[in-house]
Chains A and B, each alone.
Chain A
Amino acid sequence: MKRRQFLGGAAAAMAAGRVAGESRRSVTTSACDCAFSPPQAAPPGADAFRGLGSKVRITNLKVFGVSISPTSDRPYVFVKLETNAGLVGWGEATLEGKAGAVMACVNDFRDFVIGSDPVQSEHHWQSMYVHSFYRAGPVMGSAISGIDQAMWDLRGKILGMPVYKLLGGPNDPAGVRGYYIASGRNLDELRALRANAAGQGITCFKGGIPGYYEWIDTNDRITAAVRSIEMLREGLGPDIDIAVDFHAKTSPSVASVIVKEVEPLNLLWVEEPCPPENVKAMARIARRSTTPIATGERLVAAYGCRELIELGVVDILQTDMNHVGGITALWKVAMAAAASGISMAPHGCEGPIGLLASLHLDSAIPNFLIQECCGNIVPQPRDKIWAEWFGFPAMRMVNGKYPLPEKPGLGFDLTEEALSKYPFGGSKPMARVFVQDGSVAEW
């Protein structure tokens, strides 16, 4: 009611502005206080789509910061949309190190969301992205992701289908292939992991490279990196797929040297061999090796992936459900990638909602390779919390695959009460690392 009055008032002010505009005095009454003020700013409400959209309207938007441990650099940011139909939708907007900023950004989209029809997720995605004027970086991308997922959750519930069916799947009713972290620190532990994996049908692990790197690096450090990757292959054996995450610790020069050395290991991929801003720099690494290159977890929207795809730099794209712009954006990335023969291995190292949303999408795209969850073959405390929240062990593989959630929407029920046990502990920065001389290093 209040909103309607507000909009009515705004419309009246706008009309007054148009009249005043004729005498060139409209600027002070315009919506944007700028010379390019739109002559009319129709409310983005559902009225323009009467009879075409659903009758459901979003009545409230809530955002929750959820810290499952006091030191976490990535408190989960969950978005909840409430509707006049009694249905609720959940989404995830977690952004590592920037929880507070994302929560504020989600709230900045309040006017885009309240009063709108949740089935129009594509329309709202466009409005949030385009009408924000400044194109989305990770903060806005994550906020849009959370709202988008919650709208897909609602649409599935309104139409009575799990999201993977709305997306045209599932490709495989048994679920979605995944990998865990290669958690062994030495050959013995890796061999034990291999045996454990064989028993559980796990077919892939991901490891990293030790330490931090400089622009050019020493023989010792490069050799240590190469040895650590060789140890993964030796310990896990020839039948396990191994991905190695360079985490953009390395420069293109250093990455190229290491990647050349490990070429005979036939890795599933080398991930983020350099930072993401300069696509041509990454292309240089890719052209010097046959090892598949994976990247994309820090990119926003299909726009952010265009150059990587065009230049043929990547074999595997890893855009993240919680940053790229939700299901809407991740699907478009997958479609563009598919046309170029690029596979999808969506990144996922945050909370469970975005990961469950990823499973729905993974099961309905033609170029899906494998899904990350940053979990361990041995369940961790976070797995227990997730199971408490949802009533099922989210993101635990069965025979090497994550089972698909079955209920309509994203397929889970979650209560605010369940989350209230883990109150928001505030934003925490991601790790800050430095090399020997004290200068800043990537991790």
Chain B
Amino acid sequence: MPNPIQVRRARLMAFAPPQAAMPARSNPRLEIASLRDYRLREPVSGRSYTVLRLETRGGLEGYGECPEISARDLAGVLDAVRGTEATQFETLRHRLKNAPYGLMAALNMAMLDVVGRSAQAPVYQVLGGPTRNKCRALAPLEGAADSDLAESARRARAAGFQAFLVPAPAPAARNQGQAFVLAARKRLDTLRQAAGAGTDFVLDCAANLVPGDAASLAAAFERYHLLWLEEPCPPLNLGALKKIATENVTPLGLGRSIQQPSGFQDLLREEAIDILRPDISLTGISQIRQMAAIAESYYVAVAPYHNGGPVASAAALQLAASLPNFFIQQIPFPQAEQDRKMRAAVAGDVETVKDGFAVLPSAPGLGITVNEKALEEYKERTA
């Protein structure tokens, strides 16, 4: 008499036979076929950045951007990614951890651009957005003297910005006293006057101050309601930052030099950061999404730093519309008309700002059409 358990097992095995291993299907149309870089330089400001163009086997193209790419790094990464499907943007982000950050950031943007175009949807839809319908914008002011900065603020305001990143006055020496604090105060008063009502400011120390001066500024501006005080000290000076953050309520923004998500962990755990400032061009969309995911549990948002070109602006807008804990996006606003013309020629009107907010693109992928002719035209010529 057959064992009833074995009979039952045999019956169950019959409906679920061991299958042949069937690997997940890749979409050959989306496999990375080529990468090409265009190093651009704005004619007046001299600001430079590199646009990366990705083409897939199916002829889809995607764009990304970073500060610079060496020919050798590009060749190495292309060898490593050729044949990879553009959807594997997370797989590659971790597999190629040791590739240069900027290049990986640009590649991440370009892969997501392709995924969005292939799905005929903006990248933020691929990532679960839109989480907002417009993107608060921050204009970095240009100039050294208060009067130059005031002029810069008036222009940016006229262009639609209502929030401004202001460089702190250069300290004349280490351990400044009253004069330095007063100079900063005067600068902000001048700018608030120039920019008019309803405007907000970030005071950027660019990690140039000794901790004592940074703490003095943080204290002096406690009741000024800055959006935040930017890089009062280098982010690795955790002890100094923690002291400033404990003594003062002025919010602290940090992280333009941090490319690894884990780089923000201790700042968050030690309560020394109020807003994450990873550089979009050095970090990429997916890497900042990971940073934001970590920050969310601390009720902290991201506001990506950006001093690059219009393709990274487009990537930053896509990122903003995919995140719940996003506050504001820095968007370069060059003083010179020629520079602004170049940015528009490369990527269209993606940097349009109205009533303090950037308009979110609705076209597929990064939402821009990159003009290849403009890339060739503005490509930096080596002398």
Contact = CB atoms under 8 A, between A and B. Distances in A.
Interface of A: 48-49, 51-54, 119-123, 125-126, 152, 155, 158-162, 164-171, 173-175, 200, 302-303, 305-306, 310, 328, 331-332, 335-336, 338-340, 363-366, 378-381, 383-384, 387, 393, 396, 398-399, 401, 403-404, 406
Given A310-B269, A332-B296, A378-B12, A398 B19 contact: yes
Contacts of B127: 122, 166
A168 B88 contact: yes
15 contacts: A51-B362, A53-B125, A167-B90, A168-B87, A168-B93, A169-B88, A171-B91, A306-B298, A339-B262, A364-B90, A366-B90, A387-B16, A398-B19, A403-B19, A403-B22
Given A121-B128, A122-B128, A398-B19, 5 more contacts: A120-B130, A168-B87, A174-B21, A336-B293, A378-B12
A99 to B, nearest CB: 26
Nearest to B322: A122
A393 B16 contact: yes
Nearest to B360: A52
B121 interface: yes
Given A165-B87, A169-B90, A336-B293, A403 B21 contact: yes
Contact of A119 (B128, B293, B296): B128
Nearest to A400: B21
A338 B90 CA distance: 13
A174 B296 contact: no
Contact of A379 (B13, B261, B293): B13
A122 B324 contact: yes
Given A303-B297, A336-B293, A380 B12 contact: yes
B72 interface: no
B94 interface: yes
A363 B19 CA distance: 20
Contacts of A331: 293
Contacts of B124: 52
Contacts of B322: 122
A33 B321 CA distance: 33
B21 A126 contact: no
A166 B290 contact: no
Contacts of B93: 168, 366
A395 to B, nearest CB: 10
Given A53-B125, A340-B262, A384-B16, A48 B133 contact: yes
A338 B290 contact: yes
A379 B12 CA distance: 6
A332 B289 CA distance: 9
Q: Which 5 A-B pairs have the closest CB atoms?
A: A168-B90, A122-B128, A366-B94, A159-B119, A165-B87
B126 A384 contact: no
B198 interface: no
B131 A302 contact: no
A406 B115 CA distance: 17
B24 interface: yes
Contacts of A387: 15-16
A399 B21 contact: yes
B23 interface: yes
B121 A339 contact: no
A123 B131 contact: yes
Contact of A173 (B9, B24, B269, B298): B24
B129 A123 contact: yes
Given A170-B91, A200-B18, A393-B15, A159 B125 contact: yes
A171 B261 CA distance: 20
Given A52-B362, A171-B91, A339-B261, A396 B24 contact: no
Contact of B133 (A49, A161, A166, A168): A49
A404 B91 CA distance: 15
A306 B297 contact: yes
Nearest to B130: A52
Contacts of A406: 24-25
A200 B91 CA distance: 27
B122 interface: yes
Nearest to A166: B126
Interface string B91-105: 101100000000000
Contacts of B293: 302, 331-332, 335-336
Interface in B262-301: 262, 265, 269, 286, 289-290, 293-294, 296-298
A8 B119 CA distance: 35
A401 B129 CA distance: 32
Contacts of A48: 133
B296 A302 contact: yes
A306 B13 CA distance: 43
A364 B289 CA distance: 14
Contact of A302 (B25, B260, B297): B297
Nearest to B295: A336
A175 B296 CA distance: 30
Interface in B59-106: 85, 87-91, 93-94
A386 to B, nearest CB: 9
A379 B18 CA distance: 11
Interface in B208-264: 260-262
Contacts of B126: 159, 166
B365 to A, nearest CB: 12
Interface in B106-152: 115, 119-122, 124-131, 133
A122 B265 contact: no
Contacts of A123: 128-131, 324
A165 B87 CA distance: 5
Contacts of B190: none
Contacts of A381: 12
Contact of A53 (B88, B130, B297): B130
Given A168-B286, A339-B265, A379 B90 contact: no
B26 interface: yes
B285 to A, nearest CB: 10
A159 B12 CA distance: 37
B131 A122 contact: yes
Interface in B347-372: 360, 362
B129 A122 contact: yes
B263 to A, nearest CB: 9
A384 B128 contact: no
A94 B286 CA distance: 31
Contacts of A339: 260-262, 265, 290, 294
Which of A159, A160, A175, A384 has most chain B Cβ within 10 Å? A159
B292 to A, nearest CB: 9
Interface in B293-342: 293-294, 296-298, 321-324
B119 A335 contact: no
Which of A49, A54, A125 counts the most chain B CB atoms within 10 A?
Answer: A49
